[in-house]
C-alpha cells in the first residue's frame, strides 16, 4: 500500500451541533455535540486512513486550541508532525437546524503565520517520506500565495507527486507554475482561475483540458456539487452525474472525494475508475452530520451505483 502525507496550513477544530431552531439573541440549547480535527489535509488523511491507507499529517498548530487539536489527532491514531506557531489554532462551528434542515457554518480566518514559522514548515517538507503529497486547504494570513509553488519544487526534487486542493491566488500561482499530478477544484474555483463563466459541463471540461494541455496538471477533477463532476486527462474528459441522495452535511465532501480518488489511484486503478470511486466518497460524506466525512461501507455501496451512472 502506497502512503500519503498531507499538509494543512490552516487546520481547525470542527465543532458541530444540532439545535431545534436558530433564534437571534436567545440562549440555544444544543445536542449531539461533536469535536473533530479538520482542515483540508486533515480530512483527506482521516478518510484515506479509514480505507486502509498509510498517512502522515503535517500541519501548523498553536495555543491551547493547538494542544487540543493535537490530542484529537492522537485519539484517532493519526501519525502527525507539526510546526508550533505563536497564535492559537482556529475553531469552526457547524450548526444543524432540525426544523428546517439548514446548516449554518462559521469559519474563522485563522492565525497569522510569521516568516519564521513559514520557513519551519518548508523545512518539515524536506524530511517527508511518502508516495503522494497532498497540499489541501486555504492559506492562513501571513503565508504568501506562492507557498505551494515552493513546496512543489521541494517535492519534485525528491520525485514525490503533488496533489493540490486549494483556491484563489494560491491555486492560480501553483497551477501557473505547473507540474501538479492531480488538482481538484470546484466549479467555482475553476471559474475564478480561468476568469470565464463556464456555464455548462462542456465548458468546464474544455477549461480542465486546457490545464492538462498546458502541462499544469496531469489529472484535473472538477466537482460540480449536485450536478456531478468532470475528469480531464491527456486521453480526454469524463463526466459523471451526481447520485440523488439526501444530504445531511456538505462539510468535507470535497476532501472525502479527493481521499477516495487518491486511494484508488494508489491501488493502481485507472484514473476514470478512481474518479468514480471519488464520486462515491464525496456522496458518502454528505450522508453524515457535521464533519463525520465518508465511511468505507457507504463508499463501497455508493460506488456500485456510480459505476452504473
Question: Which entry of 14, 146, 165, 255 is annotated as an active-site residue?
Answer: 255
Q: Is 4:132 a contact under the CB 8 Å cutoff?
A: yes
Torsion of CA 190, 193, 195, 198, to 10 degrees: -10
pLDDT in tens, 9-62: 999 999 999 999 999 999 999 999 999 999 999 999 999 999 999 999 999 999
Paired residues of 59 in beta bridges = 8, 82
The pLDDT assigned to 172 comes to: 96
The pLDDT assigned to 249 comes to: 63
Average pLDDT over residues 263-278: 96
- Give the distance from CA 173 to its chain's centroid: 18
What b/e readout covers 124-140, taking b as 16+ CB neighbours within 10 angstroms? bbeebebbbbbbbbbbb
User: Which ranges in the chain belong to alpha helices (H)?
Assistant: 40-50, 63-75, 115-125, 147-157, 168-177, 187-194, 201-213, 253-266, 271-286, 296-306
Structure confidence at residue 292 as a pLDDT band (50, 70, 90):
confident
With a cut of 70, say whether residue 158 has pLDDT above it: yes
With a cut of 70, say whether residue 289 has pLDDT above it: no
Structure confidence at residue 1 as a pLDDT band (50, 70, 90):
confident
Residue 255 annotated among the catalytic residues of the structure: yes
pLDDT in tens, 167-221: 999 999 999 999 999 999 999 999 999 999 999 999 999 999 999 999 999 999 9
The pLDDT assigned to 304 comes to: 87
Q: Is 145:170 a contact under the CB 8 Å cutoff?
A: yes
Packing angle, helices 271-286 and 296-306, rounded to 10: 120
pLDDT in tens, 89-128: 999 999 999 999 888 999 999 999 999 999 999 999 999 9
The pLDDT assigned to 120 comes to: 96
The pLDDT assigned to 5 comes to: 97
Amino acid at each position: 500500500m502506497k502512503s500519503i502525507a498531507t499538509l494543512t496550513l490552516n487546520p481547525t477544530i470542527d465543532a458541530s451541533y444540532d439545535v431545534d431552531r436558530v433564534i437571534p439573541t436567545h440562549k440555544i440549547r444544543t445536542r449531539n455535540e461533536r469535536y473533530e480535527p479538520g482542515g483540508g489535509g486533515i480530512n483527506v488523511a482521516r478518510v484515506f486512513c479509514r480505507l486502509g491507507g498509510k498517512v502522515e499529517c503535517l500541519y501548523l498548530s498553536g495555543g491551547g486550541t493547538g494542544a487540543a487539536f493535537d490530542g484529537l489527532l492522537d485519539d484517532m491514531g493519526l501519525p502527525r508532525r507539526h510546526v508550533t506557531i505563536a497564535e492559537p489554532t482556529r475553531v469552526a462551528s457547524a450548526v444543524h437546524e432540525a426544523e428546517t434542515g439548514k446548516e449554518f457554518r462559521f469559519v474563522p480566518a485563522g492565525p497569522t503565520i510569521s516568516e519564521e514559522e513559514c520557513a519551519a514548515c518548508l523545512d518539515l517538507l524536506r524530511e517527508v517520506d511518502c508516495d503522494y503529497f497532498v497540499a489541501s486547504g486555504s492559506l492562513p494570513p501571513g503565508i504568501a500565495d506562492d507557498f505551494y509553488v515552493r513546496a512543489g519544487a521541494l517535492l519534485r526534487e525528491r520525485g514525490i507527486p503533488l496533489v493540490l486542493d486549494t483556491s484563489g491566488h494560491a491555486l492560480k500561482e501553483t497551477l501557473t507554475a505547473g507540474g501538479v499530478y492531480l488538482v481538484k477544484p470546484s466549479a467555482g474555483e475553476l471559474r475564478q482561475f480561468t476568469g470565464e463563466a463556464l456555464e455548462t459541463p462542456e465548458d468546464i471540461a474544455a477549461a480542465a483540458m486546457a490545464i492538462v494541455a498546458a502541462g499544469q496538471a496531469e489529472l484535473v477533477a472538477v466537482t460540480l456539487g449536485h450536478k456531478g463532476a468532470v475528469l480531464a486527462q491527456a486521453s480526454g474528459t469524463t463526466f459523471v452525474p451526481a447520485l440523488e441522495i439526501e444530504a445531511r452535511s456538505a462539510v468535507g465532501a470535497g476532501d472525502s472525494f479527493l481521499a477516495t480518488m487518491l486511494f484508488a489511484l494508489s491501488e493502481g486503478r485507472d484514473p476514470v475508475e478512481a474518479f468514480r470511486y471519488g464520486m462515491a466518497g464525496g456522496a458518502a460524506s454528505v450522508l453524515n452530520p457535521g464533519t463525520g466525512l465518508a465511511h468505507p461501507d457507504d463508499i463501497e455501496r455508493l460506488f456500485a451505483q456510480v459505476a452504473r451512472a
